[in-house]
Chain A
Amino acid sequence: MAITRRQFLQRAGMATAGGLFGPQLFRNPLLSQALASTIGDRYFVVLFLDGGNDGLNTIVPVTGALRAPYEAARLTGAGGLRIVNPLVPNAGPAFLDPNTGGQLGFHPGLAGLRDLYEQNMLAVIQGCGYPEYSLSHEQARSIWERGNPFGTLSNGWMGRYLEAPSSGYLGSDIPAVNIGDSVAGEYLQSATSVLVFDRLNDFGFPYDDYYDDDYAAKDALFSALHANAAASGNSFMQYLSGTGASTLTAAQQYPELHDQYIADRLSWSQAYTDSDAPGLNTSTARGLREVAKVIYGVARGTIPSNLRARFFQLHNGGYDTHSNQGAEETDGDHFLLHQEIAQSIKLFYQDLADMASGAPMGSGLQNLPDKVVLVVWSEFSRRIQQNDNGTDHGSQGPMLVVGGPNAINGGIYGNHPDIANTDDNGNTPYSQNNGDGFRSTDFRDVYGTIMKHWLGLANPSPIFPLDSTVGLLGDEYWNTANFNLPFL
C-alpha cells in the first residue's frame, strides 16, 4: 500500500498537533515526523509467561502474617514447594507488602530481577487479575490478551491501540514485531502489519539463486498475485495478501538489522547465547536478543521510517507446573524458568545501557534503557495449596514492569493475595472492595496506566471499555479503573 500525500499530511499533522509530549519528544532528527505515533521515541516490550506462572512462588512472604499460611500450604520434603530462603533486595525501595507490611522476597531463581529492583528498574504489581476469573488456560489468556473479560471484542488490547486513528499506522507500516511463529493475541488487529519472526538471521526472501536473472520477474508476479488477492474482497485473501506483501518488504530490509548488530556488537550477541551463563542461551534470551537487534537499528534510523518497529512481544512456555515444579533447588522446573527470564531481562537492559553509553548527541541510542519498558504477565497464577509435587490453576498473580530508572518508579504495588482465606475454588479471593486490605489489582489498570503514561494515549478508556454489561453472575464489574498506577 502506497502512502498518499493526503495520508502523509494527515499523519504529519497528528505528530505535531497531538502535542502529548511536547517538543522534546521529537528532538531526535532521525525520528520520522511522518510516522510519529503517540509512543514517540520510546519502545514497549511484552513478555508472556505461558501456562500460568505460580505467582505465589514468585513473590514470597518472608515475614509477617502471610508467612505462616504460606508455610502451611507449601511443604518441605520430597515434592515440597516451600521457598525457605527468598531473596530480599538490599537496596532500592523497601520490599514490603503494602497491606500486611510483611517483608517480601523473590524466588531464588529471580536473582537477576532482584538486581534490577535494587537499581529502581523494576516495579512489581501484586494481585493482578479480574473478577470471576477463569481457570481455563485458553479462556484466561484470551481475556488478558483482549483486555475485555466479559465483552466481545475480538482484537487485542495492543491491536486496538495500533489501529486507533491517533496512532496513524497504515497497512504498509510495520510498527510491531512479535518473536515466534504467530501474531500474539494482544496484537491482533487488521489496520497495520505485525511482523513475526523467530530469528532475524533466518529472515530473508528465498530466491532460487540458480536463476538470479529472474528475481525481478518473480517479484513482479508475487506482487501482482498479492495485489489481486487484496482486491478479491475476501477477508482471508486480504489478510494473506497483507501478510505476504509486508513479509516481502521486511525480508528485503530487516536482515540488515541483524548484520549491523553483529558487526557492531558481536560480544553482546554472544552473551545472550552463552551456554555457561545461568539462564542465558534460552528461548527468552535469544528472543530478547532479536528485540535488541531491532531496537538498535530503529534507534539509529537505519531502516525506512515506516518499518521502524517500537512494539514487541515474546513469550516463554512451560509454566503449567502441575507436576515437578520444584522449590529452590537450582535444577527445578520453576527455578529454571525464573532464572531464564530474570537473567535474560537483566542482560537485555545491560545491552541497552551499553548501546546508550557514548552515543552521540541527537542519536536515538541516547538514554536507551529509559526509553524501553517491558511488562511481564501470565494468564493466571496457581493454587496456594500444592499437590503432590506441583500446583493446579489459581487466580491473581503478580505483573512485572521493567524499565530504566528514569522510565519507571521501581517498587512494590498492589497487595499480596490473601493466602489464608481461600474462595470456593480453593484460590486466593479476587477482591474489588476498596475497603479490603487484600484488594486486588485489575490487570487493565496496569495496561491502561502503561497506555496512558508510556504509550501516550491520553484516554485509554476506549481501549479498555468498562464491563458495564452483566457479568457471569449478574454484577457490574470494574468501575474503579483510573489508569493512574504510580509505577510510571
Chain B
Amino acid sequence: MADWNLTTARHLLRRTGFGATRADAQTLLDRHATLAGAVDELLDFKPSKFKPGGRSIEDIHNKWVKYMIKTRQPLQERLVLFWHDHFATSNDKVDDVDLMAQQNRLLRINCKGDFRALVKAVNRDAAMMEFLDTVDNRKRQPNENYARELMELFTLGVLAPTPDSGGQSANYTQEDIVQIARAFTGWDYNDKGVAELNENRHDKGDADEDWNPPRGPKVIFKQRGGFNDANGQSFDAGTDWAAEIDNVIDIIFQHRYGPNGNQRVTVADYVARRLITYFALGTPSTSFVHAVVDASGFAGTWSIEALLRALFNHDDFYLTAVAPGPATAKSVKWPIDYVVSTLRLLRMKLKSKYQYVSGGDYATIRDQLINMGQLLFEPPSVFGWDWDLAWASSATMLARYNFARDVTAARDGGGSSFRPERLIDLSLTDPGDIVDAVTDLLGIDDQLTTADRNACIAYLGAGSIDLDDYDVRNRKLHGLVCVLLQSPIYQLQ
C-alpha cells in the first residue's frame, strides 16, 4: 500500500482527472484517513448515460468536449477516452454521427464495468460493425477485418510477453482469424442501430452448402492459446447462430500464454498493461502488471473497477509523482487532456455551439485539437492514437502553443475570457510570490525546478510588481501563464 500524503493525493488526482492543484489535493487528503478510502471515493460513481447527441460530427464532438470541461466525474471521462482509443472507431468511415454518439454512450456506461461484457457489446456495436466491415462479412466472402483486430488490438495482442514451452510467442494464427470471421458472417444492424443476424448470410458450416470450400468445424486455437488441444476450441452453438460471437469471446478470454506450468491469462495481462500504461507510466514492469492483475481478480471477474482499485493502491502507481529526473518515467498529456485541464484550471468556458476560444485566432476547439493531432471520433486508424512522445512534434507543439496564446488572449468573451484577476491574489507584489501563485494555479508548483522559478521571476522583472496596474497585470500575467502553458513541464501529466 502506497503512502498517503500530499504528493500521492496530488498524483492520484492528476492521473484520474484533468489537472489538480495543491488545494484540490489537500482537500482530498483532509477527507480521507487512508489512500484506500480516497481511491474508493474516486471509483464510487455510477456511470452516466450521457450521449453527445447532435446532427453533425462537429456537434457531437463539441458536446463531448463541453461535457468533459464541466463534469464532476473526470475519471469517468478519462476512461471513456481510453476506451475510445482502445476500440478506436472513426466517423471518417462510419459516416453516421448517431452511431458514433451511441458508441460513446456504450463506452461510458461500461467504462468501469465487466470488460468481457464490454467486448461482447462492442461485437454488436453498429459503429464498430461499419468501421471494421462486419456488415460486409458474408459466408461466401468472409471479411477478416474485425476478427483480426478483435484479437490483435482489443483482447490479446499479436505477441505474448513471454513465449510458451515450445518457444512460440504468437498469440494466434491466420487460421484463427479465418475461423473467427466465420462467426461474424451475416451480422448487420437495423435502422435503430441495433445489431441483428441475417442467418442467410451466416456461415452455418453445412457440408451441402452450394459454396466451396466448407471451412470445417467451428474451432479456434488448435495451435495457440495454451489449450494444448489439437482439436481446437469449439465456438459452435448448434443452431443458435447468434451465440457464436459470444462463444468466441468466452474462448478468447480463456486464452493463456507462457510456458507450461506458469501460464497466465492473456487478455487480463494485455488489457491491464494498456490501462496501467495509460494511467501510470509508459513501460510498466512485468511484476507491476502481474501484481495489479492478481490483486484485483481481474482474470476471473473482469471487473475494470477492481483492476483500477488495485492499480491506484499500488506503490508503483506513484513512481512518477515526483518532478522529472533522470529516472522518472513521465507521460505526455494527450491533447484533449491538455485542453480540458487548462480550461478547467483557468475556469474558462468555450463560446457558442462552435466551442471556440474567444481570443487569438478565435479557433474552434475542434480545429485546435485537429492541429494537436487528436480529433475525437476520428482516430487516425484502428490503432487509435500513438501516445507519449508521438504527441510531440513541431506541428502538434505549435498547435499547443497556439492554444496557450489564444486562451490567455481571450479578453472579450464574458465567461469565456481569461481573467487572472479572479484566479490569483492581486495584492501580491513580490515577483516570487506572484510566480508561486501562478504555478499553483496551473498545478505545476511541485514539478518546477528552482531554475524554472528563477526564469519566471526574471520574466516578471526586478523589484516590486504592482498588479493593481492594469497594464502590468495583463501583460505580465498573461505572458507568464501563456509561456508556462507552452513549457515542457506543463506538457507532462
Interface of A toward B, CB cutoff 8 Å: 50-51, 134-139, 178, 180-183, 193-198, 202-203, 205-208, 210-211, 213-214, 217-218, 220-222, 224-226, 228-229, 231-234, 236-237, 239-241, 243-244, 246-247, 250-251, 317, 320, 322-323, 386-390, 392-393, 424-425, 472
Chain B residues within 8 Å of A208, by CB:
360, 405, 408-409, 478-479, 482
Ranked nearest first, the 7 interchain pairs of A and B with the lowest CB-CB distance are A196-B393, A233-B326, A224-B455, A229-B488, A234-B324, A240-B488, A181-B373
Contact status A225-B487, CB under 8 Å: yes
> Contact: A222 with B405, CB < 8 Å?
no
Chain B residues within CB distance 8 Å of chain A: 132-133, 136, 138, 140-145, 148, 152, 158, 170, 174, 324-326, 328, 330-332, 360-361, 371, 373, 380-383, 386, 388-398, 401-402, 404-406, 408-409, 411, 449, 451-452, 455-456, 458-459, 474-476, 478-480, 482-484, 486-489, 491-492
A-B contact pairs, 13 of them (CB 8 A): A135-B148, A137-B382, A182-B373, A205-B398, A206-B360, A208-B482, A224-B452, A226-B487, A228-B449, A232-B449, A247-B398, A317-B380, A322-B145
Q: How far is the CB of A425 from chain B (nearest CB, A)?
A: 5
Residue of A nearest to B474 (CB): A211
Q: Which residues of B contact A247 (CB under 8 A)?
A: 394, 397-398, 401
5 other A-B residue contacts (CB within 8 Å) besides A178-B393, A240-B332, A243-B392: A211-B479, A220-B459, A221-B458, A232-B326, A232-B449
Instruction: For the complex, give the distance between the alpha carbons of A393 and B402 in Å.
Output: 40
The answer to whether A217 and B459 touch across the interface, beta carbons within 8 angstroms, is: yes
Contact B401 A229 (CB under 8 A): no
Name the residue of chain B whose CB is nearest to the CB of A389. Answer: B136
A206→B459 contact, CB < 8 A: no
Complex Cα distance A211/B475, Å? 6
A136 to B330, CA, bound (A): 29
Partner of B483, one of A218, A392, A425: A218
Q: Which residues of B contact A197 (CB under 8 A)?
A: 394-395, 398
* Contact of A392 with B138 in the complex, beta carbons under 8 Å: no
A224 CA / B381 CA spacing, docked (Å): 37
Query: Tally of A-B residue pairs with Cβ under 8 A?
Result: 193
Output the least CB separation between A275 and chain B (Å): 20
Q: In the complex the two chains form, is A206's CB within 8 Å of B402's CB? A: yes
**Cβ contact of B491, chosen from A50, A213, A240, A388, cutoff 8 A:** A240
* Known contacts A203-B398, A225-B488; A392 and B455 CB within 8 A of each other: no
Q: In the complex, what's the smallest C-beta–C-beta distance from B329 to chain A, in angstroms?
A: 8
Of A203, A231, A234, A386, most B-chain CB atoms within 10 Å? A234
A388 and B479 in contact (CB under 8 A), knowing A196-B395, A236-B330?
no
Q: Are A205 and B479 CB-contacts (below 8 A) given A137-B382, A237-B488?
A: no
> Which chain A residue has the least Cβ–Cβ distance from B159?
A139
Is the beta-carbon distance between A236 and B388 smaller than 8 angstroms?
yes
Check A198–B371 contact: CB distance below 8 A: yes
When chains A and B are docked, how far (Å) is the Cα of A231 from the Cα of B324? 11
A228 B330 Cβ-Cβ under 8 A: no
**Do the beta carbons of A196 and B396 come within 8 Å of each other?**
yes
Please pick, from B408, B451, B483, the residue contacting A228 in the complex, using a CB distance under 8 A: B451
Q: In whole angstroms, what is the CA distance A206 to B332 when docked? A: 22
Cβ–Cβ contact B483 & A222, under 8 A: yes
Nearest CB in chain A: distance from B73 CB, A: 29
Bound CA–CA A180/B332 (angstroms): 19
Alpha-carbon distance A392/B174, docked complex (angstroms): 12
A317 to B375 CA separation, bound complex (whole angstroms): 15
Interface contact B405-A243, CB-CB below 8 Å:
no
Given known contacts A225-B483, A225-B489, is B394 in contact with A196 (CB within 8 Å)?
Answer: yes
Q: Which residue of B lies closest to A425 (CB)?
A: B174
Q: Which residues of A contact B405 (CB under 8 A)?
A: 206-208
Residues of chain B with a CB closer than 8 A to A424's CB: 174
Given contacts A135-B148, A208-B405, A390-B136, contact A228 B455 (CB under 8 A): yes
Decide if A50 touches B381 in the complex (CB within 8 Å): yes
Tell me the smallest distance from the CB of A372 to a CB of chain B, in Å: 23
Q: What chain A residues lie within 8 Å of B488 (beta carbons)?
A: 225-226, 229, 237, 240-241, 244
Residues from chain B with a CB closer than 8 A to the CB of A138 are 152, 158, 383
- The residue on A at minimum CB distance from B372 is A181
When distances are taken between beta carbons in the complex, the residues of chain B under 8 Å from A425 are: 174
Q: For residue A221, which residue of chain B has the nearest CB?
A: B459
- Complex formed: what's the CA distance from A246 to B398 in Å? 11
Contact with B398, one of A206, A220, A390 (Cβ below 8 angstroms):
A206
Known contacts A221-B456, A424-B174; A237/B141 CB under 8 A: no
How far, in whole Å, are A234 and B200 apart by their CA atoms in the complex? 59
A134 to B158, CA, bound (A): 10
Instruction: Give the distance to chain A from B327, nearest Cβ to Cβ, in Å.
Output: 8
CA distance A194 to B382 in the complex (A): 26
Write out the residue numbers on chain A whose beta carbons fall within 8 Å of the beta carbon of B395: 180-182, 196-198
**Which residues in A have their C-beta under 8 angstroms from that of B140?**
388
Q: Which residue of B lies closest to A224 (CB)?
A: B455
Select the residue from A195, A203, A240, A246 with max chain B CB neighbours within 10 A.
A240
| Complex CA–CA separation, A231 to B323 (angstroms) | 13
Q: Using Cβ atoms and an 8 Å threshold, which residues of chain A touch B452?
A: 224-225, 228
Residue of B with least CB distance to A205: B401
Instruction: Tell me which residues across on chain A come within 8 A of B388, comparing CB atoms.
Output: 236
Given contacts A237-B330, A393-B144, contact A388 B401 (CB under 8 A): no
CB distance from B61 to the nearest CB of A (A): 17
Q: How far is the CA of A181 from the CA of B174 in the complex (A)?
A: 33
The residue on B at minimum CB distance from A231 is: B451
Q: A225-B487, A323-B133 are in contact. Are A243 and B324 (CB under 8 A)?
A: no
Bound CA–CA A452/B170 (angstroms): 35
- Closest B residue to A178 by CB, please name it: B393
Q: For B408, list chain A residues within 8 Å (CB).
A: 208
When chains A and B are docked, how far (Å) is the Cα of A12 from the Cα of B371? 38
- Chain A neighbourhood of B380, CB < 8 A: 317
Among A50, A198, A221: residue with most chain B CB under 10 A: A221
- With A136-B158, A217-B459, A221-B455 as known contacts, state yes or no: A234 contacts B145, CB within 8 Å: no
Closest Cβ–Cβ distance, residue B195 to chain A (whole Å): 18
Residues of A with C-beta under 8 A to B143: 322-323, 387-388, 390, 392
Question: What are the residues of chain B within 8 A of A211 when measuring CB–CB?
Answer: 474-475, 478-479
Please report the C-alpha to C-alpha distance between residue A425 and residue B173 in the assembled complex, in whole angstroms.
Answer: 9
Q: Please name all residues of chain B whose beta carbon is closer than 8 Å to the beta carbon of A389 when the two chains form the complex.
A: 136
**Are A243's CB and B393's CB within 8 A?**
yes
Q: Is the CB of A387 within 8 A of B142?
A: yes
Q: Nearest A residue to B135 by beta-carbon distance?
A: A323
What is the bound-complex CA distance between A392 and B486, given in angstroms?
44
